[in-house]
Amino acid sequence: MEIIAAHRELVLRERQLAQAEESENINNGVRMSALVRVGLAVKNARVESVRTGLGGKSIATFALGQGHSFALKVGDPVVAIGASSSTGDQERLVLRGVVSKTDTSTFSVSFSGDANVSFDSATVAKADSAATFDRMDAALKDLQNAIGFSSEKASSKHLRIGESLLNVLLHGTQPSFSTRPAKPIEFLNQMLNDSQKDAVAKCLAADAVALIHGPPGTGKTETVVELVRQLVKRGDRVLLCGPSNISVDTLAARLTPHLNPNLQFTRIGHPSRVRRDQVLTHTLDIRVRSSDEGQIANDVRAEMDATLIKIQKCKRKAERRTLYDDMKRLRAELRSRCCCYTVWLWFYVLQNEYFDAIVIDESSQAIEAESWIAILKANPKARVFLAGDHLQLPPTVKSSSPSRTPPVSTLFNSPQLTSTPTSLTQTLFDRLLSTHGPSIKSMLTIQYRMHATICKHPSKYFYNSLLPPRIRLIPPPIPPPKRPRNKRNNIPVHNLHNISRRTRGNNARRHKRPIRL
Ligand SMILES: Nc1ncnc2c1ncn2[C@@H]1O[C@H](COP(=O)(O)OP(=O)(O)OP(=O)(O)O)[C@@H](O)[C@H]1O
Ligand SMILES: [Mg+2]
């Protein structure tokens, strides 16, 4: 299957570019100094302590020297390079991890796999996430196997995805929609507008795939939330995804008010990357931590921490080796006792889990290979729903490539058959739309976020003059300005003195001069 083979090549090329950039950063003194200057690398950071995190991870805390600028954020993948003290011959050790905590004088890195953090200091620099490329390639390889295109060893032997779904996604079969007069849908969110209701209804009637297309602020996420609630109400098990942690947390936060015994969710992913407090309690980590197994794991982790302290104090080589062997044994015990080893790799968390519906929000921001990681979790009857807007920015990639297909061709022209992708910026959403034409999608037509004046330009040049159901521009009411004050020193945060007058006809405020802050 050419599409998938071409995608694997594109992913490989992207990975090579990312790796080349990373090794250039690490090995080229000038590049490294530039990274240090902007705070994306720290040279010779001293290891203050190493402890065991959930799932047997090693969490090292590094000291930041005085005056260091530090721009790395929690969740950033990093590479740490130091001289190993465990072997005595000062071997260069390169470990990959994720920033898990930062404060003014220290930062912590959670190291992946069985990494033995055996350096006393290390240069830590921002890296590309190799794991992401591995997952994308594994998904594409699995897909090739599922369609009998390759006999390479698949990473998952248990693909269940149905043939009719694959036919629509890959072989150009037109998507079908049930024509049976289903009983009227009882919408759970009474605020939905007609185009949102139509989109939900079309998805529920889809036999395999449906797309929700909406310009910015037209309520795609809101529609996805209703769709998920409707699917769950019908007894479906749903995998809800997004291409970034922020998108997943937005979805999770919007679902939270609707939770009930029948509608529960688990947020999978590194808790340090969860951006919203109300979502944190739904992470797999927190759930496991509060379980019985979590308590057992805590005891093993305490033992591991004690061993780590001994290792740091131990000067004799032979003794150090024995202690590292102890650590290995304890890690194995932690894994066998506690399912949470898999917390970090959602891939494995969901290893034998399959879903009735795969819903991807912001799917036009996801590389096609990323979407397949989720779609391969489909059971034989599963359906796929993608929400997005192919007219907005494509996914960010390093490989230079032709820009996204001109939008106009994909909106109303007759369907054109799938061609081999030449760029990672062509997403699954784009491809399905160009393959099947507008009949696969529903269009959301009411804009909620932008002020009418601001919306005029994109509306005219990207959507309005082309769309039969014109986007109705509703200026959102602007709330009265708040004047929050810093309670301690009573400094107004916003100085609104320069606001001269209200513009006629709406609530917008106009500034004579820039606001003084
Ligand atoms: N039917 C509706 N009635 C009232 N408000 C709505 C409705 N649908 C969406 N909104 C509000 O409009 C705003 C934008 O909605 P939403 O975030 O779902 O849009 P979106 O299309 O997903 O935006 P983006 O393109 O940024 O992802 C939100 O504040 C949401 O609560
Ligand atoms: Mg959205």
Mean pLDDT of 202-212: 96
Q: Whose CA is nearest to atom 10 of ligand 1?
A: 219
Q: Give the pLDDT of residue 305.
A: 81
Ligand 1 centre to CA of 231 (Å) is: 20
Q: Which comes out higher in pLDDT, residue 26 or 348?
A: 26
Q: Give the pLDDT of residue 173.
A: 92
Task: Work out which ligand 1 atom sits closest to the CA atom of 444.
Answer: 21
Q: Give the pLDDT of residue 266.
A: 79
Nearest ligand, CA of residue 458? 1
Q: Which comes out higher in pLDDT, residue 451 or 258?
A: 258
Q: Is 364 in the pocket of ligand 1 (CB under 6 A)?
A: no
Nearest ligand, CA of residue 450? 1
Going by pLDDT thresholds of 50, 70 and 90, the confidence category of residue 454 is confident
- 302-337 residue pLDDT tens: 788 888 888 878 878 888 888 888 877 777 766 654
Q: Give the pLDDT of residue 458.
A: 75
Nearest to 269 by CA among 392, 459, 135, 394: 135
Most confident of 84-98, 339-353, 478-492: 84-98
Q: Is the dihedral of CA 80, 83, 84, 85 positive or negative?
A: negative
C-alpha span between 495 and 296 (Å, rounded): 54
- 356-409 residue pLDDT tens: 999 999 999 999 999 999 999 899 999 999 999 988 888 888 776 554 444 444
Q: Give the pLDDT of residue 407.
A: 44
Q: Is 219 in the pocket of ligand 1 (CB under 6 A)?
A: yes
For residue 6, give the 3-state DSSP assignment: helix
Q: Is the pLDDT confidence value at 169 over 50?
A: yes
Q: Is 458 in the pocket of ligand 1 (CB under 6 A)?
A: no
Nearest to 109 by CA among 149, 63, 144: 63
Q: Which comes out higher in pLDDT, residue 493 or 414?
A: 493
C-alpha span between 4 and 115 (Å, rounded): 33
Residue 415 CB neighbour total at 10 angstroms: 16
Instruction: Annotate 157-215 with three-state secondary structure.
Output: CCCCCCHHHHHHHHCCCCCCECCCCCCCCCCCCCCCCHHHHHHHHHHHHECCEEEEECC
Going by pLDDT thresholds of 50, 70 and 90, the confidence category of residue 417 is very low
Q: Whose CA is nearest to atom 1 of ligand 1?
A: 192
Going by pLDDT thresholds of 50, 70 and 90, the confidence category of residue 154 is low
Ligand 1 centre to CA of 463 (Å) is: 17
Going by pLDDT thresholds of 50, 70 and 90, the confidence category of residue 167 is very high
Ligand 1 centre to CA of 389 (Å) is: 14
Q: Are 99 and 272 in contact (CB under 8 A)?
A: yes
- 62-111 residue pLDDT tens: 998 777 778 888 778 888 988 877 655 667 888 888 888 888 889 999 88
Q: Which comes out higher in pLDDT, residue 233 or 474?
A: 233
Torsion of CA 60, 66, 71, 73, to 10 degrees: 30
Q: Is the pLDDT confidence value at 189 over 90?
A: yes
